[in-house]
Amino acid sequence: MTASETTRPCDGTVVVWEQWITHFSPTTCPECAALHGQWFIKGQGPQPPRHVNCRCQRKEVYWECTNRPPGQAPAGSGRAGTQPRPW
């Protein structure tokens, strides 16, 4: 857990969302380019590096305390169209 997560009370499940960040260059592969900006639950989905010389990364961008099933994107998340405000 990050410092932000430990300072906020949570009676439900803490779900951490990460965003895929593609480093674009002339050699960026189509698979990594397609992942740019997508949100995934921490520890799930594709993980960098995806191939030799991959410079992509995933960055924590949002966490929530929820009672909804894990894997269901939060309302307003990048996976649902617009992104929520980061913590």
Helix residue spans in 1-87 (DSSP H)? 3-6, 30-35
53 secondary structure, DSSP code: T
Question: What is the reported pTM?
Answer: 0.65
> How buried is 5 (Cβ within 10 angstroms: 0-12 exposed, 13-18 middle, 19+ buried)?
middle
Residue type, 38: Q
Q: pLDDT value at position 82?
A: 41
Give the pLDDT confidence score for residue 8 in this predicted structure: 61
Taking the C-alpha atoms of residue 74 and residue 77, their distance in angstroms, rounded to an integer, is 5
pLDDT tens digits in sequence order for the chain, 87 residues long: 555 555 566 777 888 999 999 999 999 999 999 999 999 999 999 999 999 999 999 999 988 887 765 556 555 555 544 444 444
Name residue 13's beta-bridge partners.
66
Strand partners, 63: 16
**Coil, strand, or helix at residue 56?**
coil
- What was the pLDDT predicted at 75? 58
